[in-house]
Copies of this chain bind each other. A is one copy, B any other.
Amino acid sequence: MALSLPKGFLYAGSSAGLKNDGKKDVAVVYSEVPSIAAGLFTTNAIKAAPVTVSMEQLRKGRKRMIIANSGIANAATAKDGVKDVNEIISAYAKGFDIRQEEILVASTGIIGRRLPVEKVVSQITALKNDLSRQGFMDAVKAIMTTDTVPKYGSRRLKIGSKETILTGFVKGSGMIQPHLATMLGFFTSDANITQGALKKALLGAAEASFNRITIDGEMSTNDTVLVMANGLAENDTITDEGRHYAAFEQAFIDLTRELAEKMVKDGEGANKVIEINVTGARNEEDARRVSFKLANSPLIKTAFFGEDPNWGRIVATVGAACSYASETGLKIWIGKQPVFSSGKGIDNESLLKVRNSMKNRTIQLTVDLGAGNRSFNVMTCDLTYDYIRINSTYTS
């Protein structure tokens, strides 16, 4: 699908030297007119400075700009971190001739290091000069850390007689777990929409996408998803009770699901995507808990890496996560092949077929608890040698 960009948004990315390799590390998203905005943030009790600052800024009306950096997370930096962010905001407001209240921020990278304010500020002129629609890819690259591919996408949506565009880009390949653990995501739209509707659609989209993926069960201090909508498409206003709302939320869900899947595919060291679907639960919370327990189980993740249909580990993990799971009620499928039901696993010949199907890059794992009619689905990746390699030397 070709990328579409919404009216009135410009982008840029540059290198401030926050990363050792000199790659782009500061991104700017700029709206030519004041936009309404909404955000979602990590639920970690210890929030990075840019998170606490952006949460505060969101209470102060319309926005013009997002400044995001990679390389340094500016987390666990206490008051110094907040002071640093505020200095950056002050300098960028002056440089771009906008008000300080109109700026949102986000950071990702190593926790515990101070952000070198001068380096970030030194990029203002370059970023201002580069601001353009073509600058989109520079911005996308500037937020990447251990990501191996840029992750972005867009949706076109007719609202009445007007076409609106929603475009987003994300980063994140480790520390992802429900509640958005280290991912950054920035969405821009020219739709005319109320603040309430925008916030509701963001929540709905995240719940259906980013909150259903996990790489390693870790939760970051920095997760931030921001959306800005500037109304330049001049469509009838989308309100949260109005007739256009459902279509807007659905487009948002479609786009965030696409990006969530890209994040899992690009999970640290990931070799395979595992789509987990848990059905037959007494309530959704149980289905969710079993899904994530399976998705974060090192034994199951390594078995999928080894293309080993070790359904015994799946049985054990379900039993550990659900008090009413029973051997006789439980059914398990890998891909379309049933591997366990009525308390029995399949024979070795059938198992060989399953093993072959596990050579695929994407594998479905379906678990039916046989105890109710509620379900939940989660996407994760396998656990590989590369995960260990990447994470055993991250700050070294």
Taking CB atoms and an 8 Å cut-off, the chain A residues in 36-53 that contact chain B are 44-47
Q: Contact between A308 and B76 (Cβ–Cβ < 8 Å)?
A: no
Write the chain B residue with the least CB distance to A332. Answer: B76
How many copies of this chain sit in the oligomeric assembly?
A: 2
CB atoms of A111 and B312 under 8 A apart:
yes
Query: Using a Cβ–Cβ cut-off of 8 Å, how many residues does chain A contribute to the interface with B?
Result: 68
Q: Pick 5 A–B contacts, CB within 8 A, sort by A.
A: A112-B311, A113-B312, A216-B298, A308-B392, A388-B388
> Please, which residue of chain B has its CB at the minimum distance from the CB of A76?
B315
Known A44-B316, A45-B326, A345-B112; judge A391-B76 contact (CB<8 A): no
A393's nearest neighbour on chain B, judged by CB, is: B306
**Looking across the interface, which residue of chain B has its beta carbon closest to that of A325?**
B45
Tell yes or no: A158 within 8 A of B by CB: no
State A323–B342 Cα separation when bound (angstroms).
42
Alpha-carbon distance A393/B384, docked complex (angstroms): 12
Most chain B C-beta atoms within 10 Å of own C-beta, residue among A76, A174, A218, A394? A76
Q: Which residues of B contact A319 (CB under 8 A)?
A: 44-47, 219, 221
Chain A residues close to B by CB (< 8 Å): 44-47, 73, 75-80, 110-113, 174-175, 181, 216-221, 297-299, 302-303, 305-306, 308-313, 315-320, 322-328, 330, 340, 342-345, 383-385, 387-389, 391-396
Q: Which residues of B contact A80 (CB under 8 A)?
A: 343-344
Q: 10 additional contacts, CB 8 Å, given A45-B320, A302-B391?
A: A45-B324, A45-B325, A76-B315, A77-B343, A80-B344, A174-B299, A218-B298, A218-B320, A302-B387, A306-B392
**Beyond A218-B317, A298-B216, A299-B218, is A340–B112 a contact (Cβ under 8 Å)?**
yes
Set B305, B308, B391: member contacting A299, Cβ < 8 A: B391
Complex formed: what's the CA distance from A345 to B77 in Å?
8
Q: How far is the CA of A322 from the CA of B46 in the complex (A)?
A: 9
